[in-house]
Structure formats: structure tokens, C-alpha cells
Structure 1
């Protein structure tokens, strides 16, 4: 029995040591990468000056054409991230401010994300390699139920988020494999239009007083950033479009531009404009908001 106990302790020690070494190795590789996604781009950027910073989900990433802002003489970048929620947007803004970004106007897409305070696993994963060395990230993650495991268990975060920061991503970083995430100053154009009649159902969504959106508002006020909140278009054949009116009742300061573009020919999918639709919408935004 004693021999079994000794073998068990040795095995556990070896596993712990292996986990610790793998954690250090993965962190070293992934935290040095600076251009494969927008999170690491911000983490490795200092003293940026922008007239307009765009943030939000894919409905920001695909809907705001950075080039059109720049043609108006505005230095801009689209930091919208597909799948993200306000949980990650709030943390991203905190890191921009930590890194001395000077932002005159934050244009934030605030519609479908208003209904939840959950984290997006894929986007949150991008912050994990920096967790132990960054107090802002650590403090932000403390609200999560699995904070203890993420912070204190070696290599747990890389197993948990293997799909985004696992071995495949480590190898891509080591090979210096490029991505197109930062092309077009962060704007990602959707060039196709879905055939047939588009439809969607958002009738189950219920807007809430979102604590992470509230924190973004507070950060902007504290740092003299003009915050412009907007809703972006959805195809006409969507069940539950009154959701946008409910958001407006809760947050009257959010501009409801959901119906600015409504022809299906300008949509790639029911919730995302194609490039032509995005250009039409961006031109409207620039003119309407007098940017």
C-alpha cells in the first residue's frame, strides 16, 4: 500500500511538472505573437492615436468600413471581433487605456449583445496567455466561476480553450503563419449574398441593464472619450424585430439604425451586411452622426 501511494505521488508530481512546463512554453510562444488576432495586436501596441475606434461583435467587424472614415480624414480602426460580447469589449477597452491609446470617439455596436453578460469562449481565450502577467486581465477574469482553475492550475487554460490557443495555434505562431484579421484596418468585408429569402428569429432575446456596457460607458466618461452607441441592420424577415425597440427603452442613448438598410441584396446573411451594404451603412453613419 505504501509503495502504491509513493508511485501515485511520483506520478502526480510528474504530471504537475509536465503541466507547468507546457504552460510556460505555450505562454512564451503565444504571448510574443502580435498580429494573428486583434487582442494580441492591442496587447503589443502602445501610444496609438485614433479619431474613431470601432468595437463590437461581427456586426461591427463586418458593418463599419474603416476606409470610408479615413477618406473623411479620420484615423480609424475596426476592433470588432466575431462572436465577442461586452465582457470582452470591456476588457479590450481597458487594455487600450492601459497601453496609452488616445481615442476621441468610440463607435460601439450595441444591440444583440445587450441581452447577456456571458463571456465568449473564443474571444476570451485570446486573453489567456497574458493572464498571469497582467493585473487588468486577472481582475476582469475574477468574476468567472472557473477563475481558480484558469489562474492556479498549470496548463488548464490551454486545455480549456484548446480550440483557440492549443497546439495548432502554437505551431501557427512558430511558423509565423499570417492571418487577414488586421487587413483593411480591421474591417472584414463579406462579399457574398445568400440566395433565397433570408429569415431570422430573435424573439427570445431580452435586453438587460448590462454591467459590462455600463463599465464601458464609465471608462469613456473617465477618459474623455466620446461614446456613440449604435444598432446595426437586420434583414426584414426577422421575427422579433421589436427587440431593438426594447433595447431603446432600456438605453435611449443607443441610436436605433436597425432599419437603415433593409433590401436583402445588401445582406450576406440575415444578421450581416455584405460589403455593398456595409458601405451604404457606413456612409449613412458618417453623415448622420456628423463624423
Structure 2
């Protein structure tokens, strides 16, 4: 019996040591490798000025051509939109930008049906997990009651197992080999090509009283003297419940509504413009919210 318990202890001890070693190795690679996603990119930034920062979901990543913004304004812009991101994820991005010493003139925040989302998206949360010990990320996830926070933070390698599709062995290998992503996170614009057949698409039929992440972003920007531009990107003509945007403006009177006025040929699908549409939208947004304001 004593021999069995000794052998069992050896096995358990070896597994624990292996988990700690794997956790250290994965984390070290993600911390030091060239960034392959936008959380990694933000954490590599040094104190600097980025005049125009765009935050949101894929409806920012696919819609805002930062090279066009810079050409039109002569100032620096970055697109930090993330596929599937919720407003809570954008709040964490803003906190990290400020922690890294980034100064900005304007923050453009895309707001639409995500006003109804509470918490973080699984995709964005996974991309932040390698850096859960970072003081800003750790405090944000703890304060917003992230599920399994304690396990992710204190059980070695647990977060890499649970979020394997985004930060597991495959992504670890790409990072270890310094493989560049298809889109440079420092530019962030991921254009869609062509047109897909539109499926039935509907905005929410009801609206929440408030969204705590939006209010927190507005408060932080006020404290740091950053101008906030809330905007809603276009939807195709067959989108149902478009009256939701009107309801949203009653909650956020400052919201800039760009949800209509674009031909369906400019859409990749009902919620995303194609590259041609994105260029047109970028020009209009810059003309209305930056250039016209200077005059």
C-alpha cells in the first residue's frame, strides 16, 4: 500500500510539475512573440499618441480602413475591432491602452445590438487569457465576475486547455515560430470581398435600460479628456427590426446613426460591408466626424 501511495504521489507530482512548466512555456511565448491578435498588439505598445482609435466588433474590423483615415486626416489611426467582441471586451481594451500610456484624441466606439450583450465574448476572452496575470486584465476579469476566474488564474495550464481553439497548441506553435497573421494587428482592417447571399437577419425586438460597459467607457474617456464618438455601422436593406436603432438613440442620444443609406451591392452579408462599401463608409465617417468638425 505504501509503495502504491508513493507511486501515486510521484505521478501526481510529475503531472503538476508538467502543467506548471507548460503554463510557463505557453505564457512566455505569447508574451514575447510578435502579436498575432489585438490584445497582444495592445500589450506591446509603448507610451505614444494614437489620434483616432476605433473599438468594436467585426463591424469595426471589417468596416474601418485606417490607411484611408490616415490619408484623409494626416493623423495616426488604429482599428482594434475584434470579431465577436462585446462592449465589455472593448472596455478592457481601453483600460489596457491607457495602462500602456497611449494618448488619444478621439475614441470611436461602434454600438448596436451589442448593447444587449452582457459580459465578454468567448473569442475575445480567450485571446486575453494568456495574460490573465497582467494587473489590468486580472482586476477587470475579477471585477466583472468572469466565469471560472479563479480556476483560470490559479490552476496551471487550465486556461490553455479550456480555450484550446484560440490559444491551444496550434496557435502556440504559430507564435513560437513567429508566424505573421494574415492581417497586421497594428492596422486591423480586415476587408470582406464580394457579396454573399443574404440570410434572414434581425435586430433585437426590445432594448435594455442601459449597458454598464458603455457607461464605463464614457466615464473613463471623460476622466482622460478623450472625445468619444458612438456610432452605428450600416445594415443591409432586408434587416428586420431596424426601429431598434431609434430605440438605441433614446438611450444614447449622442449616437451617430449610419445604419442606413448603403446599397446592398456594397454588403458582404447583411451586417458587414464588403471592401468597396467599407471604403465608402470610412470616408463618410471621417468627413462627418473629423473633417467637418474642424471647419
Q: Same fold by TM (over 0.5)?
A: yes
Residue by residue, what CA displacement relative to the aligned partner does 1:214-265 show, whole Å, maximum 9, x if unpaired? 111111111111100000111111122122122112111211221132x210
Deviation at 1:194, TM superposition (A): 1.5
Deviation at 1:74, TM superposition (A): 2.4
Q: Which residue of 1 aligns with 2:193?
A: 191
Q: Which residue of 2 aligns with 1:252?
A: 253
Residue by residue, what CA displacement relative to the aligned partner does 1:150-186 show, whole Å, maximum 9, x if unpaired? 1110100101111111111111112221112227822
Q: What is the number of equivalent residue pairs in this alignment? A: 288
Structure 1 CA distance, aligned partners of 2:48 and 2:286? 22
Q: Which residue of 2 aligns with 1:115?
A: 116
The equivalences for 1:55-66 within 5 A come to 55-66=55-66
- Length-normalised TM-score, structure 1: 0.93
Structure 2 CA distance, aligned partners of 1:198 and 1:184? 32
Q: Which residue of 1 aligns with 2:46?
A: 46
- Which residue among 158, 162, 165 is the counterpart of 1:163? 165
SS in 2 for 1:200: coil
Unaligned 5+ residue runs, structure 1?
none
SS in 2 for 1:239: coil
Note the aligned Cα RMSD (angstroms): 1.8
- Length-normalised TM-score, structure 2: 0.92
Deviation at 1:125, TM superposition (A): 1.6
The equivalences for 1:198-213 within 5 A come to 198-204=199-205, 206-213=207-214
Unaligned 5+ residue runs, structure 2?
none
Between stretches 66-75 and 88-97, larger displacement belongs to 66-75
Residue by residue, what CA displacement relative to the aligned partner does 1:261-280 show, whole Å, maximum 9, x if unpaired? 2x210100000001111122
| Change in 2 beyond 3 A, CA 1:108/1:61 | same
SS in 1 for 2:12: helix
Contact 1:198 1:235 in 2 (8 A): no
Structure 2 CA distance, aligned partners of 1:4 and 1:247? 65
SS in 2 for 1:209: coil
Contact 2:221 2:228 in 1 (8 A): yes
SS in 2 for 1:185: coil
Q: Which residue of 2 aligns with 1:95?
A: 96
Q: Which residue of 1 aligns with 2:285?
A: 285
SS in 1 for 2:230: strand
Deviation at 1:210, TM superposition (A): 1.4
SS in 1 for 2:236: coil
